[in-house]
Amino acid sequence: MAYITFDSENVNKFVSENELDEIQPLVTVADQQLKDRSGAGFEFTDWLTLPADVHQNELTHIKQAAEKIQSDSDVLIVIGIGGSYLGAKMAIDFLNPVFNNELANQQRSGVKVYFAGNSISSAYINDLIRTIGDQDFSINVISKSGTTTEPAIAFRVFKELLEKKYGKEEAAKRIYATTDGKKGALHDEAQKAGYESFVIPDGVGGRFSVLTPVGLLPLTAAGANVDALMEGAKASQGDFTEADMKKNAAYRYAAIRRILYDKGYTSEILANWEPSMQYLAEWWKQLMGESEGKNQKGIFPSSANYSTDLHSLGQYIQEGRRDLFETVVKLDSPMVDMDLPKLSDNNDGLGYLEGKTIDEINTKAFQGVVLAHVDGGVPNMAIHLPKQDEYTLGYLIYFFEKAVAISGYLFAVNPFNQPGVEAYKTAMFALLGKPGYEEKTKEYQARLR
């Protein structure tokens, strides 16, 4: 039995068991393509066995580096974009108190972690420099090539800051490079300058890389138990191997999504009821969007943070176009619960809630919203998490990764590439005057006149 609970009862009026039986042969073929590595993009499917294959020496190396960061730094700046930061950001937020970076050092289990290189905002960089102030810090720069524009800009800025503070030799001891194992600008610089380095596996794409050093080093520095994280992912790997959807919730989720898409439900909202899960949705959006959105096909991934967004998006979800469905990630046992304070009067009208905990109220709100949205024509699925810890997160990460791999093949696309990402880069490089883009520069400048 799966460790998490996938509840698809509230799609029964939209998707019948008969329809699931009819799509099962396609799911079986997709499963076989994954298992024998014969499907499109097979060269980037090493994540499939990563939880079981991870080497203890690699985990030891990560833990030793994290211990050094914790011993000499108050802050770790993680520089990366897309899959090079979303997984770590998601996991750190999921596992720590919401205001973790504001806590005193003795109240945290690891260093403060801030992220850079995920935008081209001078204000963001300046604000982060001011936030660091005089605190001791280290850098974890994450890039397969070392030439991706956003992280390369941030690395220049923060490396200079590091060298001014500590000197070039000492600064090099505070830079940790996660990059290609054999080639690339960052690989070469790390070799030359002596940065401690970690390898991004060749067969693991960026959006699947959170369970590699890409995510594990920042997580460990922040105080996470990566052994438990990998154990959860390993258990998930073992639980989602059957092709039969009746025994494989990840495949059932993928199949339901595909059937709903064919009926006109082309947008999916990943909803949560915990502010600490906001970046879970941001990570999920890249995983789903880059994997499925090709050849003018694919489900548009969106997100909502409840109950907050019920006061902004709730009206549209309830009564807008009927082209969306929801998947809710619901925590069944919160990290902390609180009793609602009792008052001698009932001026705020909450007397009927006295005797309940705040999480009980949150759960009833979740149940009520699902009922209302289903009645309003919104198919609804729920993924119930028993706890908010490393094991659970590792399990959930692998669940979504396996689901989107099958889903990509059901859409008849390569779920492991992202050719469309290069389009914006070509236009941006041309407008910035990058060598080799001269013809495109003329074209785009003419179009902007």
Active-site amino acid positions: 290, 425
- Measured in Å, how far apart are the chain's first and last C-alpha atoms? 61
Nearest in space to 138 (alpha carbons), one of 107, 173, 189: 173
- Report d(CA 223, CA 24) in Å as an integer: 42
Q: How far is CA 228 from the centre of its chain?
A: 18
- Report d(CA 359, CA 365) in Å as an integer: 10
Nearest in space to 116 (alpha carbons), one of 97, 146, 144, 89: 89
Bridge partners, residue 421, by sequence: none
- Report d(CA 144, CA 152) in Å as an integer: 11
Nearest in space to 144 (alpha carbons), one of 112, 113, 190: 190
Q: Are 20 and 255 in contact (CB under 8 A)?
A: yes
CA distances from 18 to 21, 180, 261 (A): 5, 47, 17
Structure tokens at 199: 């390898």
Nearest in space to 301 (alpha carbons), one of 408, 422, 410: 408
Structure tokens at 189: 């610089």
